[in-house]
């Protein structure tokens, strides 16, 4: 999962980044509100984590921009205490690191299941792998892929627009066969 972590507290920001990396997340940590907004506009994320040290206004602005750029992305708001109300309308809240990791794992599982269901139904657009490169059928961004895939078809999500499609890999041609 690609995670953007936002916090106003430097110590919490650093420890949260280490925790998320330790659990396999690809993490970008914002150093300020403007840096977080810049990251949201320039990169695609699966999850936005808003720390409890952010102001309500900052949380709301980040959430609004995140939802506009990453419509399928999820927002997790860290609460200082269970009885605190969220500052935005997050997809989930967490009190403590265990809840944060469990919530991200749930989101990752749901995303993986959705791509598999879409692929099994055949609703996904198909894109031919061409010498290790493909073009996203939605946003037309050029992507470099592993040209030696172990399967004929693979569900893929574009890192730019977050839309899923199928990569079709023609089986290798054996020059010894007629």
With 0-12 CB in 10 A as exposed, 13-18 as middle and 19+ as buried, what is 135?
middle
pLDDT tens per residue across span 11-27: 888 999 999 999 888 99
* pTM for the full predicted model: 0.65
User: Percent of the chain having pLDDT more than 70?
Assistant: 79
Which pLDDT score, from 0 to 100, does residue 164 have?
75
Q: How confident is the model at residue 7 (pLDDT cuts 50, 70, 90)?
A: very high
Domains in the chain, please, with CATH?
A: 2-117 (3.40.50.2300), 124-168 (no CATH)
- 177: pLDDT strictly greater than 60: no
Buried b (16+ CB within 10 A) or exposed e, 78-112: bbeeeeeebbbebbbbbeeeebbbebbeebbeebe
Q: Is the pLDDT of residue 107 over 90?
A: no
Rounded CA-CA distance 24/76 in Å is 17
Q: What pLDDT, in 10s, does the model give residues 45-79?
A: 999 999 999 999 999 999 999 999 888 889 999 99
pLDDT of residue 152: 54
Mean pLDDT of 93-121: 75
Q: What is the pLDDT of residue 54?
A: 94
Give the mean model confidence (pLDDT) for residues 112-141.
Answer: 67
Which one is predicted more confidently, 161 or 60?
Answer: 60
């Amino acid at each position: 999962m690609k995670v953007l972590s936002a916090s106003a507290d430097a110590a919490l920001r650093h420890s949260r980044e280490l925790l998320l990396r330790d659990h396999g997340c690809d993490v970008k940590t914002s150093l300020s509100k403007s840096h977080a907004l810049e990251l949201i506009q320039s990169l695609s994320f699966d999850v936005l984590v808003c720390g409890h040290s952010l102001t309500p206004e900052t949380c709301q602005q980040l959430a609004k921009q995140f939802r506009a750029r990453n419509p399928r992305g999820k927002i997790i708001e860290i609460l200082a205490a269970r009885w605190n109300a969220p500052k935005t309308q997050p997809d989930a809240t967490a009190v403590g690191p265990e809840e944060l990791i469990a919530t991200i794992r749930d989101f990752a599982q749901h995303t993986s299941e959705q791509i598999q269901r879409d692929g099994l139904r055949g609703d996904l657009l198909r894109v031919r792998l061409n010498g290790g490169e493909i073009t996203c059928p939605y946003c037309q961004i050029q992507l470099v892929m592993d040209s030696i895939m172990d399967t004929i078809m693979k569900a893929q999500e574009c890192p730019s627009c977050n839309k899923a499609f199928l990569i079709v890999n023609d089986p290798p041609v054996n020059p010894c066969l007629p």
